[in-house]
A and B are shown apart, each in its own frame.
Chain A
């Protein structure tokens, strides 16, 4: 059987490219914009979101038949919050500097609509293995978008990449790129570029 037709391949490819959570679905924007001023922060955030998405999707999928339908959102929230607390404690213990810089945005993963969206629309009615692949795809898609945004912002805003100077001595940093307006403008430009390439139907339906 052609690999491109399997459900697993579809789950991963959709997450990374065709339904990229940031550029195509435009979900979970808060953390995307807030932590991308440096590549290191972006990577830490991506790993935290990947961890929480994978584990909460698998958990929801495992117990999907015993969650009462009416209170399912509250149950998902508690499951997600539990994994976020684990990720936050881990960051605080091993990378206190990064944890300090990202402030409350790690905690705000709880209300990240990407994770809730995967739990509600995929993990709640698919088996555990497919939910795992789907969460992996979405997590990598999120990591990909954070990486490309933070590379542009760090190089233009500070003249560095992962803390190393890459732009030479005479480079004048574009301060605005390191500040909130830069985040909005870079993300807007990426959405424009990606939708031109993929010919995604315009966002008026969003």
Chain B
């Protein structure tokens, strides 16, 4: 498949937050202001690309030759947990400014289902290495885009009169539904 198609589709038509529901917990919990959303988005995109690039060779050169494909979940989650630790140490050592902005989100990322989800979808769809990397970058940027848009909308909501029980997660869900409906408008252009 064309690399540009994969990138475009993972950004818009198959946005991992709005059409695959991946990474919903931080999407709801951290979308209250744009700065936080941006920090989380960068951390997710970075870790997603790194882990997809590691998980591809792990699956194709380690699990497939020994016919232990069913171990993929266990090995992927271990790769993710370890690389999040390593990324955290490297960022703290060499990029202290970035660490202050992004550091608090890094430990949360291990249990972010979007990271594991991208690796699983990459294997499921038989992507080549380059396609997998493009897919993971597109997925991360798409997720960042969705959470920043949501944070922007929610900052406007502070001025509106929402029924008390609908505040917080309730209205966020309904907004996400409408955003998802809007993203479906791209559906005819490119699909995965």
Chain A residues near B77 (CB-CB < 8 A): 77-78, 81, 110-111
Chain A: interface size category = 35 or more
Task: Tell me how far the C-beta of A65 lies from the nearest C-beta in chain B, rounded to whole angstroms.
Answer: 23
| SS class, residues of chain A in contact with chain B | helix
A181–B119 Cα gap in the complex (Å)? 24
B11 within 8 A of A: no
Q: State which of A73, A179, A200 has its C-beta within 8 Å of the C-beta of B165.
A: A200
Task: Tell me how far the C-beta of A145 lies from the nearest C-beta in chain B, rounded to whole angstroms.
Answer: 13
User: B residues 135-192 with Cβ under 8 Å of A?
Assistant: 163-174, 176-178, 180-181, 184
User: B residues 114-136 with Cβ under 8 Å of A?
Assistant: 115-117, 120-121, 124
Residues A181 and B178 in contact in the complex (CB < 8 Å), given A33-B21, A77-B77, A204-B167: yes
> Does B177 lie within 8 Å of A192, measured CB to CB?
no
> Does B28 lie within 8 Å of A34, measured CB to CB?
no
Q: State which of A183, A185, A206 has its C-beta within 8 Å of the C-beta of B168.
A: A206
A27 within 8 A of B: yes
Q: B residues touching A (Cβ–Cβ < 8 Å)?
A: 18-25, 28-29, 70-74, 77-78, 81, 110-113, 115-117, 120-121, 124, 163-174, 176-178, 180-181, 184
Residues A191 and B21 in contact in the complex (CB < 8 Å), given A29-B28, A104-B124, A108-B120: no
> Does A33 lie within 8 Å of B24, measured CB to CB?
yes
**Could you give, for residues 15-39 of chain A, a 1 whenever the CB lies within 8 Å of some chain B CB and a 0 otherwise?**
0000000000011111101100000
Chain B residues near A191 (CB-CB < 8 A): 165-166, 169-170, 173
Q: State which of A77, A112, A188, A202 has its C-beta within 8 Å of the C-beta of B173.
A: A188
- Interface-side segment among A1-9, A82-90, A127-135: A82-90
A183–B124 Cα gap in the complex (Å)? 24
